[in-house]
Amino acid sequence: MQIREPYFSKVFKPAVFVLALTPLAWMVWGVWQDALGANPIEYVTRSLGEWALRFLLFTLLISPLRRAAGWTQGMRLRRMLGLFAFFYGALHLLSYLWLDQFFDWAEIWKDILKRPFITVGMLAFLLMTPLALTSFKAAMRKLGRNWQRLHTLIYPLTSLAVLHFWWLAESKERLAMPLVYAVLLAVLLGERVLRWLQRKMPLLRLELPRVLRRS
């Protein structure tokens, strides 16, 4: 499945960019119209974090889509989706520091140490930061093969983000979406593990008789 090149560059990619900004526009409109419920700060903070997680999952979905459907153009969206994950993650962190804690650094530090979901959330953002800073072509050229190794951090940071969202749920009724994200992540990581095993299995078949002969 391929999209015609002029249409992809001039229409499809800009449309994805605009759609990625739609959640933020909706939240701004909701604050302006006082339409976000009894606790708009909690709604905004939670929604920003959830969209950061969604964009991380979208980013991980690109490679399996290319392998399953042959959609190579999707790889050109991966960097943009990853940067939107960082963008929403940074806004999520800012809303927590500003609207929830009022930049009280002593209380913020206590919160990080006291509440595990804050701890893993902060760790996830720390892991995401170098990925955003090195997502440009100049960094790719400078880092060489190390760039690819560095960007495997997306796997543990997305796992931490799912765990952060799971622990944030205050009741069983609110576990539905964290469970959906956990299943999606398991599928996306499982597909990669299966591909890795498929590459390794021929080597394992060759090595096993040698080991048996030695024993």
pLDDT in tens, 179-201: 999 999 999 999 998 888 877 77
The model carries a pTM of 0.89
- CA 176/CA 21 separation, integer angstroms: 25
What's the pLDDT score for residue 157?
Answer: 96
Q: Residue 100 belongs to a domain with what CATH number? A: 1.20.120
pLDDT, averaged across the chain = 88
What is the distance of C-alpha 192 from the center of its chain?
16
pLDDT in tens, 71-99: 888 888 999 999 999 999 999 999 999 99
Tally of domains in the chain: 1
Within the chain, strands assigned E span none
Q: Are 120 and 164 in contact (CB under 8 A)?
A: yes
Range of the domain at 112: 5-214
What's the pLDDT score for residue 197?
Answer: 81
